[in-house]
Structure 1
Amino acid sequence: MTQRIGTAATIRRVAGIATAVLAATALSAGCGIINGTSANGTGSTPAASPSVDPKAVLLAAVPNEDDPGFRFSTVDGTDKLVGVVDPAAHAMELGLTQKNEDPKFTMNMTFRMIDDQSWLRVKLEGIAGLHEMMKLPKRWMALDRAKLDDPTDAPVYEGTDPGNTAAIIRTADTVEDKGDGTYAGSADLTRGQDVANAVDGVDIAALGEAAKKVPFTAVVGADGNLTSLTLDIPAGGKQKATKLVVRYYDFGKAPKLSAPTGDQVQKAPASAYELLNG
């Protein structure tokens, strides 16, 4: 299926808004603060035959709908997303943890998407009674996209490449096979909206000419699956040098995903939409 690019960026944005809302609410209520606690191997593959284009080999290693379920993580600066993709069910789970210092609490926000259906679960730790204060249940909440400010921005299943590695790899003029399953190339972040969305937190214009040759390293495991891609983004303008790291792992070992049922789920209350819409 065609990869939509947006859910990861949406969740990072929503989590930032939600944390700010929670912090303001906790401060205004004068809550007492308590101490809260919150709760990948890569293989190697033989070097590609000299007659095989390394770029084609690398693109073929990107997960597709024929792959078994797997786990993933993406690290973009200080933001880390973790989750599971279940291609057979057209399902994905994506989570982000954010910590607030004043007042001190931790928010774990998890979305589960099956096709165009989505559910949200929020877990708050560090401040007694914050769930009740925000009127947020601890169960899964079924979302109605019509109640979001921008329904087109609602988290939905986006395919099997949540880190948008294929969009990055495609921009490389050449890819070099380094042996032992390692590949290297340079991405051109100015080549279209797909790659720009893949690095949505980067000010591409500020990078100038450097945006056209951003080095990356990728590793393909012995099973032929892409296990990691690291994009080394240089400093530019006011932004510091950073790395975008995508990892795919536990192929065939990740849990299967299904719609929450029974007492695991309820309709999302108005408070959930207030949180999501900011």
Structure 2
Amino acid sequence: MTQRNGTAATVRRIVLRATAVLATTALAAGCGVGDASEGAGPAPAPSADPKAALLAAVPTEQDPAFRFSAQDGTDRWIGVVDPAAKGIDLGMKQQNDDPKFTMDMTFRLIDENLWMRVKLTGIPGLHDMLKLPKTWMTVDRARLADASSVPVFQGADPGNTAAIIRTAETVEDRGDGTYTGLADLADNDDVKSTFDGVDLAALDAAGKKVPFTAVVGADGNLTSLTLDVPAAGKHKAMKLVTKYYDYGKAPRVAPPAGAKAAPSSAYEMLNG
């Protein structure tokens, strides 16, 4: 099944936009400066069809809840996926220099329901000044300028690893649960929305053969996928790393207790 999953990229855009909005508001108000285990035990035996074996290791809706992280250059997301509940927690931290503060934004989704929590540090009283509660807020998608700009549950593979693996003509089984291949990221609609921080068009021909390394744990589950993206345009060479771990050990994703309706200030921030 082809899946387009840009959940992490969507949150990156929201967080960066929200940070800019908060920084402008804080300046106007005159504010001053105020991983994971990848499994143990013997690795899977080499497969006669490495690509099929690797795709079979990608998490699906039948898997238990698990944790994940995604590293895109200097940006990092962390979260939990609960396929049975169609739920996901997704968080990202962003620092602002002028004025100096840190915003930690977390989204929780269960099917079509959406909650948000924002934690601001570095400037005393910033939450009160911006009229943003520190607790979970229920977000009404109807009040968003562009409802498609916020995350939705798009399946059990938030890093879109299956779509990336499918672009490879061949995959090699290196043994010890390690697989390598060349991903075709050029003009590929199935993976384009995954990489908000990468200029895929600037990769040109190099984008058709981007090296990747995947690791499958002893339990047969994918634990990591690393793309070695070459320098292109204004972007330096970088590693894009997705990790899945704690299968069956991560907490279930449930509606947050005590959540209150998001105030107008939250929608102003989200709508930019």
Please give the alpha-carbon distance, in whole angstroms, between the structure 1 residues aligned to 2:30 and 2:196: 36
3-state SS of 1:85 partner: strand
Q: CA deviation at 1:191?
A: 5.3
Unaligned runs of 5+ in 1: 35-39
How much does 1:153 deviate?
2.5
Q: Identical aligned pairs, as a percentage?
A: 67
Cα root mean square deviation, aligned: 1.4
For the pair 1:234 / 2:235, whether they are aligned, the reply is: no
Counterpart-to-counterpart distance in 1, 2:199 and 2:33: 37
Q: Counterparts of 1:1-278 in structure 2 under 5 Å?
A: 3-34=3-34, 40-43=36-39, 45-49=43-47, 52-190=48-186, 192-261=188-257, 264-278=258-272
Report if the CA contact (8 A) 2:185-2:210 is conserved.
Answer: yes
Is the contact between residue 95 and residue 102 of structure 2 (CA under 8 Å) also seen in structure 1?
yes
2:252 and 2:246 map into 1 onto residues whose CA distance is 12
Deviation at 1:7, TM superposition (A): 2.3
Contact preservation (8 Å) 1:6, 1:153: no
Distance 1:2 1:190 in 2: 17
Distance 2:187 2:199 in 1: 14
Does the aligned pair in 2 maintain the 1:2–1:159 contact within 8 Å?
no
What is the CA deviation profile of residues 173-217 of structure 1, one whole-angstrom value per residue up to 9, with x for unaligned ones? 000000000000000012521111222322122111111000000
Rounded Cα–Cα distance in structure 1 between residues aligned with 2:209 and 2:185: 8
Q: Distance in 2 between matches of 1:270 and 1:153?
A: 18
Whole-Å separation in 2 of the counterparts to 1:204 and 1:158: 22
CA distance in structure 2 between the aligned counterparts of 1:273 and 1:222, rounded to whole angstroms: 45
User: Which runs of 5 or more structure 2 residues have no equivalent in the other structure?
Assistant: none
Distance 2:197 2:111 in 1: 26
> Is the 1:171–1:191 contact (alpha carbons within 8 Å) kept by the matching residues of 2?
no
Cα distance in 2, alignment partners of residues 4 and 54 from structure 1: 23
Distance 2:63 2:138 in 1: 28
Q: Quote how far apart the aligned CAs of 1:260 are.
A: 1.9
Moved more, 67-76 or 189-198: 189-198
- SS of 1:56's equivalent in the other structure is helix
Structure 1 residue 157, shift from structure 2 partner? 1.3
Between the aligned partners of 1:70 and 1:209, the Cα distance in structure 2 is 36
CA distance in 1, matches of 2:101, 2:142: 30
- Whether the 8 Å contact between 1:163 and 1:246 is mirrored in structure 2 is yes
Paired residues, what number? Answer: 269
Find the residue that maps to 2:193 and give its secondary structure: helix
1:68-87 residue CA offsets vs partner (Å, 9 max, x unmatched) = 11000000011100000011
